[in-house]
Amino acid sequence: MGKNKLQKFSDMSFYPHVFQYPFSVLKEKGFELKANWNDAFFKNDHPIVLELGCGKGEYTVGLAELFPDKNFIGVDIKGARMWTGAKQSSEKGLTNVAFIRTQIELIDHFFGPGEVAEIWLTFPDPQMRKVGKRLTSSRFLRLYRKFLLPEGIIHLKTDSNFLYAYTWEMIKLNDFPVLADTDDLYHSNVADDILSIQTFYEKQWRERGLNIKYLKFVVKEKAEIKEPDIEIPHDIYRSYHRGRLNELFGS
Angle value at C-alpha 197, between 114 and 61, nearest 5 degrees = 55
* Contact call for residues 33 and 41 (beta carbons, < 8 A): yes
Q: Which has the closest alpha carbon to 213: 184, 189, 239?
A: 184
Which DSSP category does 227 fall into?
P
* Contact call for residues 150 and 83 (beta carbons, < 8 A): no
Q: Is 39 a catalytic residue?
A: no
DSSP assignments along 105-150, one per residue: GGGGGS--TT-EEEEEEES----TT-GGG-TTSHHHHHHHHTTEEE
**Positive or negative: CA dihedral 123, 124, 125, 130:** negative
Q: Out of 11, 108, 125, 183, which one is annotated catalytic?
A: 125
Residues 220, 178: Cα–Cα separation, whole Å: 11
Q: Which has the closest alpha carbon to 216: 162, 144, 153?
A: 153
* Contact call for residues 156 and 192 (beta carbons, < 8 A): no
Which residues are tagged catalytic?
125
